[in-house]
Structure 1
Amino acid sequence: MLIDTHAHLNAPEFAEDRDEVISRARENGVSTVINIGFNRETIPTCLELAERYEFIYAVIGWHPQDAKDMTDADLEWIAELTRHPKVVGLGEMGLDYYWDTSPKDVQAEVFRKQIRLARELKLPIVIHNRDAHEDVIKILREEKAEEVGGVMHCFSGSWETAKLALEMNFYISFGGPLTFKNAKKPKEVAVQVPLDRLLVETDCPYLTPHPYRGKRNESGYVRLVAEEMANLRGLPYEEMIQITGDNAQRLFRLPARS
Structure 2
Amino acid sequence: MGKNNKRSHKTIPESLFQLTHPAVSSASPIVDTHTHLASTFEAYRLKYPNGEYKTVYDFVRGLYVPAGVQEIVDVWCEAPVRPLWREFADSALTEEKRRDLWGGMGYWFVMGVHPHQAKDYTDAVEADIIEAMAHPRCVGWGEMGLDYHYDNSPRPIQQEVFTRQLRCAVRLKKPLTIHTREADDDTERILKAEVPKDHKIHIHCFTDSPAFAQRLLDWFPNLYIGITGVITYATNTDTSTTVRNMFLPSSPSPHRLRIVLETDAPYMVPTPVYDLPVFAKPEVKGTRLPLCHSGMVPWTAGFVANLLPKPQPQEEVAEGQAESAGAIGEEIWDAARVMSVARENARAMYGV
Same fold (TM over 0.5): yes
User: What secondary structure, in the 3-state scheme, does the structure 1 residue paired with 2:31 have?
Assistant: strand
Q: Name which of 30, 48, 52 aligns with 2:91.
A: 52
For residues 101-143 of structure 1, the C-alpha deviation after alignment (integer angstroms, 9 at most, x for no partner) is 2111111111001110111110110011111111111110111
Write the distance in 2 (CA, Å) between the matches of 1:29 and 1:83.
29
Residue 150 of structure 1 deviates from its aligned partner by 1.1
Give the letter aligned to residue 103 of structure 1. P
**Who is 1:240 aligned against?**
338
**1:172 maps to 2:219:** no
Mapping for residues 139-154 of structure 1, pairs under 5 Å? 139-154=190-205
Contact 2:114/2:142 (8 A) holds in 1: yes
**Who is 1:104 aligned against?**
155
206-215 or 2-11: bigger deviation: 206-215
Residue 214 of structure 1 deviates from its aligned partner by 6.0
Contact 1:174/1:200 (8 A) holds in 2: yes
Which sections of structure 2, spanning at least 5 residues, go unmatched?
Answer: 1-28, 93-97, 99-105, 247-254, 275-287, 311-332
1:196–1:187 distance in 2 versus 1, CA, 3 Å: closer
Write the distance in 1 (CA, Å) between the matches of 2:172 and 2:290.
38
Which sections of structure 1, spanning at least 5 residues, go unmatched?
Answer: none
1:21–1:224 distance in 2 versus 1, CA, 3 Å: farther
Give the letter aligned to residue 291 of structure 2. R
Mapping for residues 1-258 of structure 1, pairs under 5 Å? 1-11=29-39, 12-15=42-45, 17=53, 18-23=56-61, 24-40=63-79, 43-53=82-92, 54=98, 55-166=106-217, 167-168=219-220, 169-193=222-246, 195-210=256-271, 211=273, 215-233=290-308, 234=310, 235-254=333-352
1:252–1:175 distance in 2 versus 1, CA, 3 Å: same
84-93 or 191-200: bigger deviation: 191-200
Contact 1:36/1:46 (8 A) holds in 2: no
Write the distance in 2 (CA, Å) between the matches of 1:41 and 1:75.
9
Residue 147 of structure 1 deviates from its aligned partner by 4.4
Structure that is richer in helix per residue:
1
TM-score normalised by L of structure 1? 0.91
Residue-pair matches, total: 254
Give aligned-pair identity as a percent.
33
Contact 1:21/1:219 (8 A) holds in 2: no
Contact 2:163/2:190 (8 A) holds in 1: yes
RMSD between superposed Cα atoms in Å: 1.9
Residue 44 of structure 1 deviates from its aligned partner by 3.0
For residues 23-49 of structure 1, the C-alpha deviation after alignment (integer angstroms, 9 at most, x for no partner) is 312222211000000124554323422
1:249–1:188 distance in 2 versus 1, CA, 3 Å: same
Structure that is richer in strand per residue:
1
